[in-house]
Amino acid sequence: MIGGGLVDEGYGGDVDAVLLWWRAGEGVLADALLAAGAVLSEGRFVLLLNPKVGGYGRPEDIDEAVVLTGFHRASAIELRHWHGVLLTKPNRSR
């Protein structure tokens, strides 16, 4: 929550943002995105970070997971040793 502390994956309420570090070989990205979407407050976002070197994963795998889970790419960013993708999800009421 904005103004609140950080929480881990065991938190039971809605959150304003999810910061997700993901490396190839750490499970199924679509599953991680579905879990993130389940706790995400309406109109909020996921920042997905992948290492630039060693385990980045294929961009097409990321694209596929994003589409399968109903997220949309809002923008891409570069953070020193990480690629970042800001993902949004349409409002549930639509």
Query: According to the model, what pLDDT value does residue 72 have?
Result: 92
| pTM value > 0.95 | no
How do residues 68-83 score in pLDDT, each as one tens digit? 999 999 998 888 888 8
pLDDT at 45 over 90: yes
Helix (H) or strand (E) holding 75: strand 72-79
Helix (H) or strand (E) holding 59: helix 59-68
Average confidence (pLDDT) over 39-63 = 82
45 Rama sector, left if φ>0, alpha if ψ -120 to 50, beta otherwise: beta
Give the rounded percent of residues in the chain with a pLDDT score beyond 90. Answer: 26
pLDDT level of residue 88 (50, 70, 90 thresholds)? very high
